[in-house]
Amino acid sequence: VLAHGKGIFHTDDILALADRGYIDLDMVGELAQCWLGVPLRVGDEAIGLVVVQSYVARDDYGPADEELLTFVASQIANSLNRRRAALIQQQALEQLEHRVEERTRELRHEILERERIQQQLEHEVMHDALTGLPNRGYLRERLERVLGLLRRDPHRKCALLYLDIDRFKVINDSLGHLAGDGFLKEVARRLHECLREPDLVARIAGDEFAVLLEDVPEADDAVRVAQRVMDALAQPLVIAGKEIEPSASIGIAIADADYRLADELLHDADVALYRAKAQGRKRFELFDASLQKHAVDVLALERELRVALAEGQFVAYFQPILRLDSGRVVGHEALIRWRHPSRGLIGPGDFLKVAEDSGYIEAIDWWMFEHSCESAARHLPADSYLTLNVSPLHFRRPDLCERLLQMLRRTGLAPARLVIEVTEGSLLDDPDGVRDVLARLRDAGVGAALDDFGTGYSSLSYLHTFPLRLVKIDRSFVARLGEAGAANSQAVVSSILALARALGIEALAEGIETEAQREILLAMGCVLAQGYLLGRPAPIEAWIGPGKG
Ligand code: C2E
Ligand code: MG
Ligand code: MG
């Protein structure tokens, strides 16, 4: 039937088919007397058969039955076909839905990913990579917004704290950049921890941070935060095996509705910071209008420094260096002063940084070197020496040694009467180069002193690899001697003294102000000293003995 279309078969035909192997009689059961089949056609394809069979002998199917069954088969085929098509359609629809869902999921993922990247970029633009803190750009944006709020509410004030980490360069140079980075991260963490939303901590640059306090009813509130920040920073911390006690100088500016620009506030806080550093670091200063008048307008100060140099406004002061046991003066340190035409006598703390940053320090120093050597050669006892503070910048010059020796010849000061004072920072900048310069100077008779020892992080045994004649113990240790709870300072000073003795370096205590300090140091075996108690810095005339000059 499948091969030829419709067909009618009787029992004999079925047996004949079985004989030819078309039918397996075991599977058929009782044989029909008469059998009629028509194919189920869908299009050109036969997808099955419709069959009727009779087991009654007198029934016989004829063409009419065949026609009827063909009609029935076509109805069945149609409806099967419809169902099949519906099924296929349904499946196709499901597949489509599935794909749409999948694609939606993909897109959603892509969108999220894009948003994440966008956010990350925005974060990166507005944050500092090392510490994760907001950066200067972020701070300025926030500042502008807060200043906008102040304009709408004239009673409101905000404060900006500008922080500079003290002596970060020394940490970085002596312990390495990795340690320096670790140190900054820890500082950032501490700052972040001691403040609350909506107050903001930002890293402005290198070792500079800022804290924005959005709402400060009184200046005292900002001062209290500054104090808290300093306390939080001061906890000792171990970096690269060294214990460090971080500290910062802080400039505070308070803003009211009068401030228009974020930069104005940043500038004022910076001016206060400059002041805090000049006053000796580890402290804060509040910006006020008088600071503005005192013009730490750097550009103006640079201009004034140039005029000062051209018009001879600098003066060399001298402070005696004594033996503690006999009180004999063995030398003098030359300290610069500026006779400012309108501001009076100014100490180096107020202009040295600008002089260094602008490079004028070199010319200023050479002026000082020349004048103080000349004065010393002419007026100070021939058995005493002169010490000069040499700014780190000079060590970048290849001819420093020759120039100093030439100057000595010119001024008539014997090389053996000169000691140059250098800081740990200068030594570490280019250790080999500096060691070489100091060695050549020593060969010519000029000594070297390590100034402000104890404020940096290098050990004396390392610094001993430089040809040093003298180490000057920083006055911050001396200041604490004789106070209650000074055991720590006393231990530091006595170990410096012991080590210096062992290394054959002379030790000098700076900044002796009280009789008690003098006695303690004398008892500890400190030989040399300097300080207001023993003699304040003064112009050369003060030190010219009778019959001299
Ligand atoms: P320094 O070399 O450590 O000088 C010692 C400073 O301590 C001087 O401050 C001196 O006046 C002060 N001083 C001395 N005895 C006492 C005391 O008993 N108590 C207190 N509180 N202070 C005392 P000054 O003259 O203000 O100099 C500050 C720093 O400026 C110096 O520190 C030095 O590093 C630098 N400096 C001074 N003159 C020059 C210079 O001509 N060239 C360069 N490059 N730097 C200079
Ligand atoms: Mg000095
Ligand atoms: Mg010193």
**Over the stretch 407-423, which tens digit does the pLDDT of each residue have?**
999 999 999 999 999 99
Helices (H), 321-465: 352-358, 360-379, 400-411, 424-429, 431-444, 460-463
pLDDT at position 294: 47
- State the distance from the centre of ligand 1 to the C-alpha of 487, rounded, in angstroms: 26
250 and 222 Cβ atoms separated by less than 8 Å: no
8 Å CB contact between 528 and 507: yes
Cα distance between residue 363 and residue 369, in whole Å: 10
User: Atom 3 of ligand 1 has which residue's CA nearest to it?
Assistant: 452
**pLDDT at residue number 292:** 54
Q: DSSP secondary-structure letter at 203?
A: E
pLDDT tens-digit readout, 469-506: 999 999 988 988 878 777 778 888 988 898 899 889 99
Q: Is the pLDDT of residue 459 over 80?
A: no
Distance 79 CA to ligand 1 centre (A): 109
> Which secondary structure element, helix H or strand E, spans residue 78, and what is its range?
helix 63-126
Strand bridging mode 237-239 / 242-244: antiparallel
Nearest CA residue ID for atom 42, ligand 1:
389
Helix (H, G, I), strand (E, B) or coil at 470: strand
> What is the 479 CA–ligand 3 centroid distance (Å)?
13
d(CA 180, CA 206): 10
H or E element, residue 270: helix 262-278
Instruction: Pick from 333, 350, 368, 389 the residue to mutate for probing ligand 1's pocket: most ligand atoms within 8 Å of its CB.
Output: 389
CA of 37 to the centre of ligand 1 (A): 123
pLDDT at 364 over 60: yes
- Cβ contact 65:34 at 8 Å: no
pLDDT over 70 percentage in the chain = 97
530 Cα nearest atom in ligand 1: 15
Residues lining ligand 1, CB < 6 A? 319, 335-336, 347-349, 352, 361, 365, 368, 389, 391, 421, 451-452, 475, 510-513, 530-532, 537
Distance 85 CA to ligand 2 centre (A): 101
302 CA distance to ligand 1 middle (Å):
21
Which residue CA neighbors atom 12 of ligand 1 most closely?
A: 511
What beta strand segments (E) does 359-505 contain? 385-389, 418-422, 447-453, 470-473
Mean pLDDT of 190-215: 93
- Statement: the pTM of the whole predicted model exceeds 0.85: no
pLDDT bracket for residue 289 (50, 70, 90): low
Buried b (16+ CB within 10 A) or exposed e, 219-228: eeebbebbee
In 3D space, the residue among 334, 375, 331 whose CA is nearest the CA of residue 508 turns out to be: 331
Closest residue to atom 34 of ligand 1, CA basis: 389
Residue 347 CA: which ligand 1 atom is closest? 26
546 has pLDDT over 80: no
- Kindly give the distance from the C-alpha atom of residue 452 to the centroid of ligand 1, in angstroms, as a whole number: 10
Residue 548 clears pLDDT 70, i.e. is over it: no
Q: Which atom of ligand 1 is nearest to the CA of 372?
A: 41
Protein residue closest via CA to atom 8 of ligand 1: 335
312 C-alpha vs ligand 2 centroid, how far in Å?
A: 22
Nearest to 466 by CA among 426, 493, 507, 494: 426
Ligand 1 atom, smallest distance to 534 CA? 18
> Cα(353) to centroid of ligand 1, in Å?
13
Q: What is the pLDDT of residues 520-539, one digit of tens each?
A: 999 999 999 999 999 999 99
Q: Which of 322, 335, 367, 395 to mutate to test the pocket of ligand 1 (most atoms within 8 A of CB)?
A: 335
Q: Whose Cα sits closest to atom 37 in ligand 1?
A: 335
